[in-house]
């Protein structure tokens, strides 16, 4: 029981608004002789803006009325690239390309029409991009007002990359029903003349040997490299005198699942080595693999690294730690001294931050992973909130999450799950979700409650579960098919997988087949794992949050589930946001959802918590 649980003064200070305000994030770090550039998202603004760092100063380049964000494949990524004298970006409102100089002035449109663009790269005086025209995707180049198709015919494309001399073009492609984390192909074409290319050849990836490939790179000599998971983990492979071969590397994932375009978690170096980040027990490491076989560690205090860049003096990254928000950092290659260029705030004193403990626990006949955050009021056996990430082939990370701190400051412990199917633990762990979505993830979510209770860390009778998107599906399945949780929250969660197969977009058009099965041949399996059809089995309160513009999980799904619970006399609340899509971005809405979820749980606990 939690009768003695009281709020701490810090709980009053760390409000939902403060938690949301601490959610500033960065993406797509890029470097050129013109400086260092990044894309910055601030919840208070609700938009994404490009910043430039040069000569010790940072300035915002994106003028009012513009937001830099791609929506290709719905999840976007690669929203800008650096040109010879400025940058090219995707404007969020119309999804068109704009060029922008660095000396001021309004951005100028490069494209007009219905297509969307993403994964922008610059090379040989042209923009390379993934172009999305309804359900047709291709690679194109755009230069001086001329658009040229580079590759088409596959269902999906990613990561168009030119060698430094412009003579070789590489890219990733894949075909339905595969996803980019199950089976892709690495293609390379040689230049024929100034405007055309020879027929491409497949370097890696085939039906006979399926592998997931991502982040192709050329070194200064034009040799091609790529991350491949053919040996069980996403590790660097490349062209060698002996053929296509693995580079020396830790036996670990050197990237997460490529839900978004434009990732950069490794870079080949001119001396034959490479810079990379990789996962160890869920924690990210950063290091340089030198050509002589030695490894130089640059991890410092940070627990996650992404968007890597490098020059002669510094390593650059977007990094985060367990006590500070994401930051753009520069690490001196010789002294290892770290300079924070942007971000890195500490919204709470370090002694008030609940820090993650990596746990591996038994679940059925397997093991699962999670990060445990203790409640910050010192009470034994506090209530628990289980966080279930979306994807589901995504991951959570041991970094400061203001939402988690919002709960721990209020006397809740948190278990942030990397259930089977999550990335960061190798291909076999990721593939464990194949045809078992709604089973093994639910099993892992329930098993963590038993494990933590057995350690005396939480009160198992006061456990809640929450998740967004695919995490919302796991949440609803756990509430419908298990008797473990006292209540839950679904944020734009899937309640009817069959309906999702009919309404979802092309990128995820076959994902449900992989997760559950063929919608026509495996109807009984779908029915057995559809929370909406088993709403009568949910006996505990549920709160729902949904964006009205969501194209991934359409609002009708949430309304149907909400109505079914209310019809059965179960306490249920629904909050719908007219301007939100799949994943909320407006600060006021984010804060409102967090506060309403907190109020809901307080009223559901066996003894209400003080305000």
Backbone conformation region of residue 125, classed left if phi is above 0, alpha if psi is from -120 to 50, else beta: left
What is the pLDDT, as a whole number, of residue 479?
Answer: 98
Cα separation values, 154 from 147, 148, 177, 188, 224, Å: 19, 17, 12, 14, 21
- Helix, strand counts (H, E) of the chain: 11, 36
Q: State how far the Cα of 350 lies from the Cα of 324, in Å rounded to an integer.
A: 9
**Is-contact 137 120, C-beta < 8 A?**
no
User: What is the pLDDT averaged over residues 78-106?
Assistant: 95
Residue 328 has pLDDT above 90, yes or no: yes
Residue 196 has pLDDT above 50, yes or no: yes
Between helix 470-481 and helix 440-454 the angle, nearest 10°, is 70
Kindly indicate whether the domain formed by 63-343 is annotated with CATH number 2.120.10.30: yes
Residue 4 has pLDDT above 50, yes or no: no
**Is-contact 383 414, C-beta < 8 A?**
no
What is the pLDDT, as a whole number, of residue 53?
Answer: 97
Q: Which CATH number fits domain 354-604: 3.20.20.70, 3.40.50.2300, 3.40.50.12160, 3.40.50.1820?
A: 3.40.50.1820
- In the sheet that holds 116-123, the strands lie side by side as 116-123, 126-133, 136-143, 146-152
Cα separation values, 313 from 217, 220, 286, 332, 336, Å: 21, 18, 16, 6, 10
- At 539-563, the pLDDT tens digits run 999 999 999 998 778 899 899 999 9
By C-alpha distance, which of 482, 483, 484 is closest to 415?
484
User: What is the pLDDT averaged over residues 309-333?
Assistant: 97
Least confident of 93-97, 196-200, 499-503, 596-600: 499-503
Least confident of 275-284, 425-434, 578-587: 578-587
What is the pLDDT, as a whole number, of residue 558?
Answer: 93
Confidence of residue 363 (pLDDT cuts 50, 70, 90): very high
Residue 2 has pLDDT above 50, yes or no: no
What is the H or E stretch that residue 429 is in?
helix 427-431
Confidence of residue 13 (pLDDT cuts 50, 70, 90): low
Least confident of 147-161, 287-301, 597-611: 597-611
- Name the DSSP letter for residue 352: G
CA angle in degrees (0–180, nearest 5) for 158-518-494: 75
Q: How many CB atoms lie within 10 A of CB 409?
A: 26
**Token code pair at residue 18:** 């403060």
Cα separation values, 90 from 119, 241, 300, Å: 10, 40, 34
By C-alpha distance, which of 422, 426, 517 is closest to 470?
422
Q: Can you name the residues that pair with 283 across neighbouring β-strands?
A: 280
**Token code pair at residue 509:** 């058009």
Residues 6 or more apart whose CB falls under 8 angstroms from that of 427 comprise 212, 229, 232, 233
- At 43-55, the pLDDT tens digits run 778 789 999 999 9
What is the pLDDT, as a whole number, of residue 12?
Answer: 53
User: What is the pLDDT averaged over residues 279-286?
Assistant: 96
What is the pLDDT, as a whole number, of residue 6?
Answer: 32
Residue 1 has pLDDT above 90, yes or no: no
Every domain range in the chain assigned CATH 2.120.10.30 = 63-343
Q: How many CB atoms lie within 10 A of CB 377?
A: 18
Residue 42 has pLDDT above 90, yes or no: no
What is the pLDDT, as a whole number, of residue 609?
Answer: 54
Give the position of tokens 């579960």.
Answer: 465
| Average per-residue pLDDT for the chain | 93
User: What is the pLDDT averaged over residues 371-377?
Assistant: 94
Confidence of residue 120 (pLDDT cuts 50, 70, 90): very high
How many residues does the structure list for the chain? 611
CA angle in degrees (0–180, nearest 5) for 512-515-517: 70
Q: State how far the Cα of 129 lies from the Cα of 141, in Å rounded to an integer.
A: 6
Residue 70 has pLDDT above 90, yes or no: yes
SS3 211: coil
Residue 261 has pLDDT above 60, yes or no: yes
What is the pLDDT, as a whole number, of residue 178?
Answer: 95
User: What is the pLDDT averaged over residues 231-244?
Assistant: 94
User: What is the pLDDT averaged over residues 4-30?
Assistant: 70
Instruction: Give the residue with greater pLDDT, 395 vs 16.
Output: 395
User: What is the pLDDT averaged over residues 194-198?
Assistant: 89
Q: How many CB atoms lie within 10 A of CB 510?
A: 19
Beta strands in 83-196 (DSSP E): 86-90, 97-101, 108-109, 116-123, 126-133, 136-143, 146-152, 156-162, 168-174, 185-190
Residue 491 has pLDDT above 90, yes or no: yes
- At 405-436, the pLDDT tens digits run 999 999 999 999 999 999 999 999 999 999 99
Q: How many CB atoms lie within 10 A of CB 410?
A: 26
Q: How many CB atoms lie within 10 A of CB 322?
A: 21
pTM: 0.92
Q: State how far the Cα of 598 lies from the Cα of 412, in Å rounded to an integer.
A: 10
Residue 198 has pLDDT above 80, yes or no: yes
What is the pLDDT, as a whole number, of residue 7?
Answer: 36
Strands 136-143 and 146-152: antiparallel
Q: State how far the Cα of 464 lies from the Cα of 488, in Å rounded to an integer.
A: 5
């Amino acid at each position: 029981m939690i009768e003695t649980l009281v709020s701490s003064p810090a709980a009053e200070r760390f409000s939902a608004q403060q938690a949301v305000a601490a959610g500033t994030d960065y993406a797509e770090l890029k470097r050129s002789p013109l400086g260092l550039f990044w894309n910055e998202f601030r919840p208070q603004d609700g938009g994404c803006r490009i910043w430039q760092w040069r000569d010790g100063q940072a300035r915002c380049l994106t003028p009012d009325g513009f937001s830099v964000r791609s929506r290709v494949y719905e999840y976007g990524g690669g929203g800008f690239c650096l040109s010879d004298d400025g940058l090219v970006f995707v404007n969020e409102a119309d999804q068109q390309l704009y060029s922008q100089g660095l000396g001021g002035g309004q951005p100028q449109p490069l494209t007009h029409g219905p297509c969307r663009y993403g994964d922008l790269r610059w090379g040989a005086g042209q923009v390379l991009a993934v172009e999305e025209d309804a359900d047709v995707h291709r690679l194109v180049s755009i230069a001086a007002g001329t658009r040229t198709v580079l590759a088409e015919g596959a269902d999906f494309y990613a990561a168009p990359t030119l060698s430094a001399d412009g003579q070789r073009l590489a890219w990733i492609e894949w075909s339905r029903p595969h996803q980019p984390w199950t089976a892709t192909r690495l293609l390379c074409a040689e230049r024929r003349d100034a405007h055309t290319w020879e027929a491409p050849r497949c370097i890696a990836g085939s039906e006979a040997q399926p592998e997931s490939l991502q982040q192709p790179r050329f070194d200064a000599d034009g040799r091609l490299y790529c991350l491949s998971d053919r040996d069980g983990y996403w590790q660097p492979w490349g062209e060698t005198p002996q053929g296509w071969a693995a580079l020396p590397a830790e036996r670990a994932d050197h990237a997460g699942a490529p839900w978004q375009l434009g990732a950069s978690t490794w870079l080949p170096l001119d001396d034959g080595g490479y810079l990379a980040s990789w996962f160890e027990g869920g924690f990210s490491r950063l290091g340089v693999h030198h050509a002589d076989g030695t490894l130089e560690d640059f991890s410092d205090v940070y627990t996650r690294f992404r968007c890597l860049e490098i020059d002669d003096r510094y390593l650059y990254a977007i990094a985060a730690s367990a006590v500070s928000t994401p930051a753009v950092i520069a690490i001196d290659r010789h002294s290892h001294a770290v300079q924070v260029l942007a971000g890195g705030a500490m919204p709470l004193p370090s002694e008030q931050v609940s820090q993650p403990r990596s746990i591996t626990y038994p679940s059925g006949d397997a093991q699962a992973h999670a990060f445990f955050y203790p409640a910050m009021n010192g009470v034994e056996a506090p209530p628990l909130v289980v966080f279930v990430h979306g994807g589901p082939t995504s991951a959570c990370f041991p970094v400061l999450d203001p939402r988690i701190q919002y709960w721990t400051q209020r006397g809740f412990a948190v278990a942030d799950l990397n259930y089977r199917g999550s990335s960061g633990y190798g291909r076999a762990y990721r593939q464990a979700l194949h045809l078992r979505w709604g089973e093994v993830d639910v099993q892992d979510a329930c098993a963590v409650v038993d494990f933590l209770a057995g350690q005396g860390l939480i009160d198992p009778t006061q456990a809640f579960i929450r998740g967004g998107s695919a995490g919302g599906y796991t949440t609803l399945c756990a509430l419908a098919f298990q008797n473990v949780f006292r209540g839950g929250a679904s944020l734009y969660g899937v309640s009817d997988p069959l309906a999702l197969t009919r309404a979802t977009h092309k990128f995820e058009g076959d994902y449900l087949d992989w997760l559950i099965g063929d919608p026509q041949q495996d109807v009984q399996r779908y029915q057995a794992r559809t929370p909406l059809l088993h709403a009568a089995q949910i006996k505990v309160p549920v709160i729902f949050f949904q964006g009205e513009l969501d194209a991934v999980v359409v609002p009708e799904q949430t309304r149907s589930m909400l109505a079914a619970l209310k019809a059965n006399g179960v306490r249920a609340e629904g909050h719908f946001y007219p301007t939100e899509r799949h994943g909320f971005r407006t600060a006021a809405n984010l804060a409102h959802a967090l506060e309403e979820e907190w109020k809901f749980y307080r009223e559901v606990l066996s003894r209400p918590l003080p305000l």
